[in-house]
Amino acid sequence: MTTPWWQGAVVYQVYPRSFDDADGDGVGDLAGVVRRLGHVARLGADAVWLSPFYPSPMVDFGYDVADYTDVDPLFGDLATFDRLLTEAHALGVRVIIDWVPNHSSDRHPWFTAARSSRDDPRRDWYVWRDGRPGGRPPNDWESTFGGPAWTYDPLTAQWYLHGFAPEQPNLDWSNPELAEAMLATLRFWLDRGVDGFRIDVAHEVGNVPDPPPGVASWPREQDWPGGHAVLRRVRGVLEEYDGDRVAVGEVYVLDQRRLASYVTTGDELHMAHNFVFLRCAWDATAFRDVIAEFTRLAPAPAWPAWCLENHDHPRLATRYDDDGRGPARARAAALLLLGLRGTPFMFQGQELGLPDAVVPPGAVVDVDGRDPERAPIPWERPSVAGPGAGFTTGVPWLPIVDDAEHLAVAAQRGDERSDLALWRRLIALRRESPALGPAGAQTLLEGEDDVLAWLREADGERLLLAINMSAEAVRCDLTALGGGPGRLVVSTDPDRVVATDDIDVLGLAPDEGAIVRLT
C-alpha cells in the first residue's frame, strides 16, 4: 500500500479574511490567497486548508453558511476559486476546504423554508421542539457562545436548536433528504478538484437525542452517537473519488479515548485535530502524556494530526508568554509540531511567530472574542507599505499586530535568525529526512522531567529531538537518553551556533529545542 499524500504533508491553514486583500476593502479574499500562494510553496507546505469562503451573513465570519456551493462576493466568485485550485496544484500545493455540516446560517434558503411552516418539506431538516410550560425552552442546554441553545420562532410556535449562535440553526442529519443534500455539496467541490475537507465540529454532527432526563445542561465537547454514522457516509463519498481525498475533523472532545474512536475504524475520518494537545500547558510531562496516550489509543494504521494554533485560540507567542518567553516557546513549538509522527497543521502567521494583536474594546467584532488571533498577516513593513502592512491598501477589518515592522514577512525574509527561516529549515529537513517522514518510527524518551525528548528513525537514519520546557539550562547526556553521540542539525535558539563536530552531551537553553542526527 502506498502512503497517502496527506501523511507526508505539512498543512497550512488560511483564514481568508485575514490573509491578503486584493481589492482594498480591508477584508482578505480569494484573489489575495492566489497571489500569496508562492509564500506557502516557498515555506514548503504541501497543502492549504481554507477556512470558509461561502456566502454568509458573517455572524460567525463564514461559519454560518448561507449556500454550500458558492463563494461570497466579499471573497470573490467560483471562477476565482477555480483559479486558486489550478494555481495551487501547479505549485504542488493541495487544497482542503472547510465544510460546516453541523449548522447552516439562518439565512440559508433551507432554513427560510423550514421556519415558514410546520408542514414545509424542509421543516425536519432542522431540529424543532415544543417548549416547556411557561414559555421555557425544551431544556436548559446552553450554546457554545453562551445563552440558551434554543430560540423560539413565533411564526410556527416551536423552538429550534443551535449549538452556536441563534443565527446558526443545527441541521438534522437523521433526515434522509437533508443528509443527501449535504453529501451532494461534498461532491460539488470534489468534482471541482478539491483534495479534501476540514469538517467543522465533526463530533456534534448527528442525530440529536432528546434531552436525557435530569440532564439540564449541554456539556461542552459533547459528541453525539449518530455522528459516527454520518462520518462513515462522508468517507464513502470521498472514496467515490481517486487521489486520496482526505477528511480531517475538528473533533473538540477532550477525552482522547473518544477522540481516537473517530480515526481507528478506518471508515470515518482520516485524521482528527487533537485539542487536548492544543490545550496543553507548556510542560514536558503534559505533552509527553498526551502524545503517549494518543499513540496507545490510536496505533497505526491510524494517523495523528497535530496542531497548536488555529483561528479560535490565542497564538503560541501570547498563550505561553506568562514570563515573557512566548516567542522562544513558539519557536520550540515549531520543532514539536514538525518533528512528531503525524500530520502537522499550522495556522497562517505561525511561521512568523506572530503574537495576538491588541484589539481595543471598540474594535471587537467576533461573537466569541477570537479577534486577536485573527489579525491580518503583515506582509510588508508598515514604514514601507503604510498602516495596512501589505495586507490591504484600505482599512484592515482587524488591527494589525503591534510589532509588524519586525514581524512582517518582508522583514523576516532573508534573515537567517528569523522564525520564518527556522520554519523553512525545519520543513525542508522534514521533507528530505526518512526518519521524519510517514515511515519514521517514534519513541518517546524518558530523561529529565523538563525535557520532552523523542527519537525518530527510518532507513538507518536516527534523529533525536529534544525541547527544554523549563526556565533553566539543561544538559542531556545523549547516550543515557538512548542515543549515543550525534551532530546538532537544528536549534530553535537563533543565537546558537550549529557546529559540525559530534557531541555526547546536548546543552539546551531555557525553551530551546534541538534536533541531533545520531551517528
DSSP helix/strand/coil, 8: coil
Q: Does 153 bind ligand TEU (CB under 6 A)?
A: no
One-letter amino acid of 157: A
Question: Mask 323-362, x = binds ligand TEU (CB under 6 A)?
Answer: ----------------------------------------
Q: Which residue has the cell 418539506?
A: 121
With H, G, I as helix, E, B as strand and everything else as coil, classify residue 161: strand
Return the residues of window 423-462 that contact ligand TEU according to CB under 6 A. Answer: none
Looking at the Cβ atoms of 99 and 379, the one nearer to ligand TEU is 99
Does position 111 interact with ligand TEU (CB under 6 A)? The reply is no
For residues 516 and 425, what is the distance between their CA atoms, to the nearest angstrom? Answer: 14
Q: How far is the CB of 252 from ligand TEU (least distance, A)?
A: 4
- If we measure between CA atoms, which residue out of 417, 419, 505 comes closest to residue 466? 505
The footprint of ligand TEU on residues 213-272 (CB under 6 A) is 250, 252
Among 68, 126, 128, 164, binds ligand TEU (CB under 6 A): 164
Applying CB under 6 A, which of residues 200, 356, 380, 511 lies at the interface with ligand TEU? Answer: 200
| Shorter beta-carbon distance to ligand TEU: residue 47 or 201 | 201
Cβ distance to ligand TEU smaller for residue 163 or 390: 163
Q: Binders of ligand TEU among 27-66, rule CB under 6 A?
A: 60, 63
Binder to ligand TEU among 7, 105, 139, 144 (CB under 6 A)? 144
Pair type for strands 150-153 and 158-161: antiparallel
Nearer to ligand TEU, 36 or 311 (CB): 311
Residue with smaller CB distance to ligand TEU, 4 or 314: 314
Query: In the complex, what is the shortest distance from the CB of residue 308 to ligand TEU, in angstroms, rounded to a whole number?
Result: 14
Which helix (H) or strand (E) is 197 found in, with range? Answer: strand 196-199
Between 100 and 466, name the residue whose CB sits nearer to ligand TEU: 100
Nearer to ligand TEU, 170 or 175 (CB): 170
DSSP characters over 89-126 = HHTT-EEEEEE--SB--TTSHHHHHHTT-TT-TTGGGB
**Which residue, 67 or 244, is less far from ligand TEU as judged by CB?**
67
Q: DSSP assignment of 233-272, as one string?
A: HHHHHHTTSSS--EEEEEE--S-HHHHHTTTSSSSS-SEE
CB of 169 to ligand TEU, least distance (A): 12
**Catalytic residue from among 240, 267, 368, 403:** 240
240 given a catalytic annotation: yes
Least distance in Å: CB of 469 to ligand TEU?
24
The yes or no reply on residue 12 touching ligand TEU (CB under 6 A) is: no
Tell me which of 20, 106, 200, 250 is the catalytic residue: 200
Rounded least distance, CB 64 to ligand TEU, Å: 7
CB of 27 to ligand TEU, least distance (A): 16
Cα R_g (the chain), whole angstroms: 23
Output 313 or 341, the one with its CB closest to ligand TEU. Answer: 313
Cα distance between residue 300 and residue 145, in whole Å: 36
- Per-residue DSSP letters for 449-501? TTEEEEEEEETTEEEEEEEE-SSS-EEEETTTTT--SEEEEEES-TT----SS
How many other C-beta atoms lie within 10 A of the C-beta of residue 378?
29
Known catalytic residue at 200: yes
In whole angstroms, give the CA distance from residue 172 to residue 178: 7
How many Cα atoms occupy the beta-carbon half-sphere of 455 within 13 Å? 18
Cβ proximity to ligand TEU, 172 vs 200, nearer residue: 200
Given 23, 70, 312, 502, the residue binding ligand TEU (CB under 6 A) = 312
Does the protein bind ligand TEU through residue 368 (CB under 6 A)? yes
371 touches ligand TEU by CB under 6 A: no
Task: Figure out which of the listed residues 48, 201, 352, 490 binds ligand TEU, where binding follows CB under 6 A.
Answer: 201
- Compose the 463-492 pattern: x for residues touching ligand TEU by CB under 6 A, - for all others: ------------------------------
- Going by C-alpha positions, the residue among 188, 54, 177 that lies closest to residue 126 is 177
Q: How far apart are CA 496 and CA 499, in angstroms?
A: 9
For residue 431 the three cell numbers come to 521533507
What do you get for the CA distance between the two ends of the chain, in Å?
A: 31
Determine the size of the site formed for ligand TEU (CB under 6 A): 13
Which among 12, 76, 91 has a CA at the least distance from the CA of 48? 12
Inter-residue long-range contacts of 140-147, CB under 8 Å, 24+ positions, other chains counted: 140/216, 140/217, 141/211, 141/217, 141/218, 142/217, 142/218, 144/220, 144/368, 145/367, 145/368
Q: How far is the CB of 22 from ligand TEU (least distance, A)?
A: 23
Q: CB of 478: closest distance to ligand TEU in angstroms?
A: 40
Distance of CA 197 to the CA centre of its chain: 12
Closest CB 6 distance from ligand TEU, rounded Å:
20
Using an 8 Å Cβ cutoff, are 326 and 317 in contact? yes
Residues 310 and 124: their CA atoms lie apart, in Å, by 33
Return the residues of window 377-396 that contact ligand TEU according to CB under 6 A: none
Taking the complex as a whole, the smallest distance from the CB of residue 38 to ligand TEU amounts, in Å, to: 27
- Binding-site string for ligand TEU from residue 86 to residue 105, where x marks contact by CB under 6 A and - marks none: --------------x-----
Is there a contact between 307 and 346 (Cβ–Cβ < 8 Å)? yes
Contact positions vs ligand TEU (CB under 6 A): 60, 63, 100, 144, 164, 200-201, 250, 252, 311-312, 368, 370
Q: Which residues are catalytic?
A: 200, 240
